[in-house]
Chain A
Amino acid sequence: MPQDAPPAHTVMVPVRGWVSLRLGDVWRARELLLIFAWRDLSARYRQTVLGVIWAVLQPVTMTVVFTLFLGRLAKLPSDGAPYAVFALSGLIPWALLSNAVGAGSESLLSSGGVITKVHFPRLVLPLGAIAAWLSDLLIATAVLIPVMFVYGLAPTWTALLAPVFALGIVLVAAGASLLLAPLNVAYRDVRYLTVMLLQLWMFATPVVYPLSKVPADLRWLYGLNPMVGFEAGFRWAMLGAGGPTSRDLLSAIVVTLAGLLAGLAYFRRVEHRLADVI
């Protein structure tokens, strides 16, 4: 917008029914989105004693637990890679989804004070909260690589594709958060439901077991979980083993975009009421 144009003209009228997605608003508010992400990020690291170490500690602890119980005791196969590396490379992208959906679905509730006082595109709140978890993914992935070397593995050129799969996970998290965040404002049950769903979702995703263990006749249904394609894809990019089929990837993309669109439409429909009910 030119600076010396006639003053910005705004019309406010009652909002009813489905409204347009107005994605341009978010683009114009991209700086605010980044600032919200930076706020969440720096506050998170400063509030804790261990700070950045948590980004690594969470997936590593889970890896130790799963390696003991599933790798050693249950002797679960791991697509040729040592089980510990296999689990870590699955738990890192899963932590991104789980943390991002958790933060995204809480983002409106925790910003009630701002929502009732200032006008800005509300979409930047969940999106900023999600973006703030990308740093943890980056840090944890940086730790994964030396761990791979310890087990005698080295990343190949496919590792360059890891960010693409991470982006897919971010979009899955965005779709889920846009649905959950306003619902969370309306019903506090949603918080507990989210925790439970994330736990179930993890076991419906090849995080701690390989894709090859899924019964072939259920694969089409299993593939509808968009995390199957992105999770297996991220691991394949890092380890070069156990990649998703092209059908997995296609259905992941279709389901993710559909979820994102549904989330956006729902969010846009209810966002104007947020200030009245928060």
Chain B
Amino acid sequence: MSSDGALALSVQGLGKRYRLGETVGGFRDRALSEEMLSRLRRGLRRNRSVAPADLWALRDVSFDVRVGERVGIIGRNGAGKSTLLKILSQVTTPSEGRVETWGRIGALLEVGTGFHPELTGRENIFLSGAILGMSRAEVARKLDDIVEFSGVEKFIDTPIKRYSSGMGVRLAFAVAAHIEPEILLVDEVLAVGDAEFQRKCLARIAEIGSHGRTVVFVSHNMPAIMRLCERVIVLEGGAVAWDGSPQDAVHRYLDAAIRSVAQCEWESPSRAPGDSRVRLKAVRVLDPVDMLTDRIEINEPFTIEVEYWQLSDAADVHPVVVLQISDQDGTLLFQTADQTNVEWFRTRRGVGVVTSRCRVPGNLLAEGQFLVSVTVSTSDPYVRHVVESDVVAVDVVEASDGVTVKGGAIGEWPGLVRPWLDWSVAFERAAPDNAQHP
């Protein structure tokens, strides 16, 4: 079991069911009184045929991964990517089917798991390392490398509650990047940190992959997937829709997934994405007169509207809406956040519905399709309440008339953005008599 063709992972007929209404053995988050009431009502109705609503996050998923393969997994939100990773990393159990793995598994799921704000950076390295499955001796041996990789040497003996969120994330990734598993599972860690640090993370993952280790990489970052993976699996609605070369898979994903969607809405907090404090209510693209639209003239402004429920009035819940606009290839064009509105940022939050609107000026984006990802997070202490990638999409079109950057030019007008910039042009006409001189 160690030759080139050996299996690292084998997934057969895998299914994972979540029960929405009822859960097994009354095991769910709500007060006992509610539970008793609902049992009583059910008893009175004497209607046993109504099955609780089941949600199959994964159904009949089968694939094998060989030792040393670098496999990417892509798919829309709710396609089952995170559930698959959770099963592979043994965080949760399958409802049906079978998963077999050969080798020690290490997961780079959301980083910073287990960090305690009162402990210093150094202490948190030992804590986080132990949670991720490293022995004390192993952490001690790699301590210098981890500290150097994180770039927070100066603050390593400071409690991490005094860290900026960026420093916390870097330290967390540094620990996770030094587990040396035979099978590495990576989930969306690259959505954090600055460009420089993201490059460092990708390089580290590539390095781990190049040492003959198996890597399973879940991401929305298409360029990173194309660069790192030799094979890509596309999940759609909890099933494998494509399994093959990265180029084909990415095209398949983009074709299937990216229809322009002007609006994404959730009816109740219990079904909406988010945590116990914040749930996403709606994301919309609106034209200049506030009508839903999936098509915008290139020189017209438009508005991205995010509505969310805040469910907690605790002082440390201070949500900020962050928008990321990327193009069809998954390249991030810019990120913006509603903390730009300083007055709102200073406002004490409470339970209720918040509507954040961001006006994107005309003459900024180029022609083409753009995807909007929404994150709602609290920065101190850093908590990501909601992350919804590519949740709405908008087509930016060049009208046949009107004043635009491209104007009447014919053919391609390259560039990811197409800002209307001020030009000043000086022209000194050659004097007629000077021109006479040789």
Contact = CB atoms under 8 A, between A and B. Distances in A.
Contact of A270 (B27, B102, B116): B27
Nearest to B25: A270
Interface string A143-183: 00000000000000000000000000000000000000010
Given A7-B103, A120-B131, A15 B93 contact: yes
Nearest to A40: B116
A39 B30 contact: no
A6 B1 CA distance: 7
A188 B29 contact: yes
A11 B102 contact: no
Given A12-B93, A32-B130, A114-B114, A6 B2 contact: yes
A117 B93 contact: no
Contacts of A47: 118
Contacts of A118: 89, 91, 107, 109, 113-114, 131-133
B110 A117 contact: yes
B315 interface: no
Interface in B12-43: 18, 23-33, 35
Chain A contact-residue range equals 35 or more
A113 B123 contact: no
Contacts of A217: none
B78 to A, nearest CB: 16
B31 A189 contact: yes
Given A6-B1, A31-B136, A189-B31, A113 B113 contact: yes
Contacts of B101: 9-10, 12
Q: Which of B23, B107, B113 has the most CB of A within 10 A?
A: B113
B35 A14 contact: no
Contacts of B202: none
Given A8-B102, A118-B91, A31 B135 contact: yes
Given A8-B102, A9-B101, A117 B1 contact: no
A116 B91 contact: yes
Contact of B92 (A31, A43, A114, A275): A275
A187 B24 CA distance: 14
A185 B29 contact: yes
A203 to B, nearest CB: 25
A276 B29 CA distance: 10
B317 to A, nearest CB: 15
Nearest to A10: B101
A12 B94 contact: yes
Nearest to B111: A117
A9 B18 CA distance: 27
Given A119-B89, A273-B27, A35 B119 contact: no
Contacts of A142: none
A275 B118 CA distance: 25
A12 B99 contact: yes
Interface in B97-155: 97-105, 107, 109-110, 113-114, 116, 118-119, 123, 126-127, 130-133, 135-136
B131 A11 contact: no
A31 B27 contact: no
B102 A39 contact: no
A43 B27 contact: no
Contacts of B99: 11-13
B140 to A, nearest CB: 12
Nearest to B16: A276
B118 A46 contact: yes
B90 interface: yes
Nearest to A113: B113
Contacts of B127: 35, 39
Contact of A12 (B28, B33, B90, B113): B90
Contacts of B30: 187-188
B329 interface: no
Interface string B170-182: 0000000000001
Nearest to B129: A35
A214 to B, nearest CB: 33
B95 interface: yes
Given A32-B130, A42-B118, A275-B91, A117 B113 contact: yes
B92 A272 contact: yes
Interface in A29-67: 31-32, 35, 39, 42-43, 46-47
A204 B18 CA distance: 43
A125 B101 CA distance: 26
Contacts of B100: 9-12
Contacts of B2: 6-7
B96 interface: yes
A167 to B, nearest CB: 25
A114 B93 contact: no
Contacts of B126: 35
Given A117-B109, A117-B113, A118-B109, A14 B89 contact: no
Contacts of A6: 1-2, 102
A189 B32 contact: yes
Given A7-B104, A39-B119, A185-B27, 14 more contacts: A8-B102, A9-B101, A31-B130, A39-B116, A42-B123, A114-B114, A117-B91, A119-B89, A119-B105, A119-B107, A120-B133, A276-B18, A277-B28, A277-B29
14 contacts: A7-B104, A7-B182, A8-B102, A11-B100, A12-B98, A12-B100, A12-B101, A13-B98, A42-B119, A114-B131, A118-B109, A188-B30, A273-B23, A276-B18
Interface of A: 6-15, 31-32, 35, 39, 42-43, 46-47, 111, 113-120, 182, 185-189, 270, 272-273, 275-278
A-B interface, 6 closest residue pairs, ranked by CB to CB distance from nearest: A119-B90, A7-B103, A12-B99, A43-B118, A189-B32, A117-B113
